[in-house]
Amino acid sequence: MAKAYKLTIPSDRAERLQYIKRMFPQAGGTALSDDWRGGRSEATKRLNSIDIEAYNKNRYFINGDVSRLSPYFRYGCLTLKEAADHLQKQFGVESEKLVQALGRRDYSRRVWYQQGDKIFNNLEKSKVGLGDKPLPDYVRQMITGLPCMDAFVRDLMQDGYVHNHARKWFAAYVVHWLKVDWREAADWFESLLLDGDKASNHLSWQWVASSFSSSPYFFNKDILARHTGEKHCANCTVSCPFDASVEMLDAKLFSVAEPLAERTISRPATMHFSSNTAVAVFVHDEMLSAAHPLIQNSTAKFFVFDEHLYAKWPLKRLQFVADCLSELPNVEVWLGDTRDVLESRGVGQLKTQNTPNKDIKQLLESFQVDWQPEVKMIDVEVSDQRMKRFSRYWSKVSKALYGDALPEESKTF
């Protein structure tokens, strides 16, 4: 790896985006659009402008009033607890559907802490046969011949954001119609999302595939047309593979489950241990908020764009992170190898926020690290039994959040 050097993130946004483009010539894809300015200020603005009635009414529609907060949670600009507390205070029980969505992220994170790298393979025996084909180039190149699926990939490539339902339909198409190995598809999909998060992404693909759910998720043309307002279907002339009843598709798509060959995640062992003694805060990409207690700490603070983590990131994601870092002027930002940077600054001991991400943990293996717990959405213990399904987790957590205030129909799935 080339020699490490310190970056000066420009405060002017246009300059900043250009600077990142110059610093990361290998980063592919389109630039970050004005709609997706990174950082806590923008996150707070979005949180404060939520129209809860609209969210409750039309969140399932492709152009519905969803919060578009996912990248802000992903990079820690805002915590789930801050958002849940704000929503409950502002909207009372009306906030339940959106807080439940936040719960899905909290749940995914808890599963990641609990299962570690196992989330990258089938967590359970799949309930139907899954394919092991590679992801075809025609999917990546948006020439499937299906205007809906090509449009979802276009959103992914251009914006890095795809509505939750479109993510589900696309994943179902790839896994159940094309019989692609969900793990390869999930890696690819996550690498292009602005909110790309290993747990939320891989567990959602497993939920679609049926290796972390009690049945596979699939859809038909009626469902897609209804929730997209016929956007893709009205003038579509192709022979539609989704145009059948749910029962017919169920009979056509699924075979008996055969186990997928286990995929191994290997990381080289660290041979070297630092003999330095200076203490610093290591800022990683899940804690980019000026309100974070460790960022407010007076100790020296370092963020490193390390190739082990960021070599494959698309440009827009690096630019989003640079927006976040521009709000943290007392954090030194470096490009290079984490160990080289910290060693050269005499650092031997680190404080940082805990993470289930083993790639981050591995970068810091040669240092003494004080892993401080991240703030949970709610400090409530959830048993292993309940952690097997989101519905069981939510019945416990919603009770802790809302007591008996929720209407009866909100308590069941």
Ligand X SMILES: Cc1cc2nc3c(=O)[nH]c(=O)nc-3n(C[C@H](O)[C@H](O)[C@H](O)COP(=O)(O)OP(=O)(O)OC[C@H]3O[C@@H](n4cnc5c(N)ncnc54)[C@H](O)[C@@H]3O)c2cc1C
Burial class of residue 96 (count of CB atoms within 10 Å of its CB; 0-12, 13-18, 19+): buried
Cα(314)–Cα(268) distance, rounded to whole angstroms? 25
The CB-of-356 to ligand X minimum distance in angstroms stands at 14
The CB-of-71 to ligand X minimum distance in angstroms stands at 8
Size of the site for ligand X (CB under 6 A): 26
- The pattern of x and - marking residues 114 through 153 that bind ligand X according to CB under 6 A reads ----------------------------------------
Binder among 159, 187, 197, 323 for ligand X (CB under 6 A): 197
Q: Which DSSP state fits 368?
A: E
Residue nearer to ligand X on the CB measure, 76 or 241: 76
User: Could you tell me which of 44, 31, 33, 35 has the C-alpha nearest to residue 72?
Assistant: 44
Judge whether 135 and 180 are in contact, CB under 8 Å.
yes
Q: Does 289 bind ligand X (CB under 6 A)?
A: no
Three-state DSSP class for 302? strand
The CB-of-83 to ligand X minimum distance in angstroms stands at 8
Three-state DSSP class for 341? helix
Q: Does 105 bind ligand X (CB under 6 A)?
A: yes
Cα(46)–Cα(207) distance, rounded to whole angstroms? 28
For the record, the structure tokens of 246 come out as 């749910």
Q: In what order do the strands lie in the sheet with 368-372?
A: 5-7, 332-335, 301-305, 278-282, 347-353, 368-372
Residue nearer to ligand X on the CB measure, 54 or 248: 54
Q: Does 173 bind ligand X (CB under 6 A)?
A: no
Q: Does 164 bind ligand X (CB under 6 A)?
A: yes
Cα-Cα-Cα-Cα dihedral sign, residues 392, 394, 395, 400: positive
371-400: which residues touch ligand X (CB under 6 A)? none
The CB-of-93 to ligand X minimum distance in angstroms stands at 17
- The pattern of x and - marking residues 50 through 89 that bind ligand X according to CB under 6 A reads ---------x------xxxxx--xx---------------
Q: Does 101 bind ligand X (CB under 6 A)?
A: yes
Binder among 75, 205, 218, 313 for ligand X (CB under 6 A): 205
DSSP helix, strand, coil percent of the chain (3-state; round to 5): 50, 10, 45
User: Could you tell me which of 212, 217, 214 has the C-alpha nearest to residue 200?
Assistant: 212
Q: Does 196 bind ligand X (CB under 6 A)?
A: yes
Binder among 7, 193, 225, 322 for ligand X (CB under 6 A): 193
**List of E strands, 18-131:** none
The region of 96-104, 152-160, 317-325, 394-402 touching ligand X under the rule CB under 6 A is: 96-104
The region of 138-146, 191-199, 326-334, 343-351 touching ligand X under the rule CB under 6 A is: 191-199
Q: Which residues share a beta bridge with 133?
A: 180
Q: Does 187 bind ligand X (CB under 6 A)?
A: no
Binder among 37, 40, 110, 168 for ligand X (CB under 6 A): 168
- Phi then psi for residue 190, to 5 deg, are -60, -35
The CB-of-31 to ligand X minimum distance in angstroms stands at 20
Residue nearer to ligand X on the CB measure, 59 or 127: 59
Q: Does 200 bind ligand X (CB under 6 A)?
A: yes
Residue nearer to ligand X on the CB measure, 101 or 387: 101
Residue nearer to ligand X on the CB measure, 17 or 208: 208
Long-range contacts of 356-362 (CB under 8 A, 24+ apart): 356/109, 356/112, 356/113, 356/116, 356/199, 357/112, 357/198, 357/284, 357/286, 358/116, 358/117, 358/265, 358/267, 359/267, 359/308, 359/309, 360/284, 360/285, 360/286, 360/309, 362/267, 362/270, 362/308
Binding site for ligand X (CB under 6 A): 59, 66-70, 73-74, 101-102, 104-105, 108, 164, 167-168, 171, 190, 193, 195-197, 200-201, 204-205
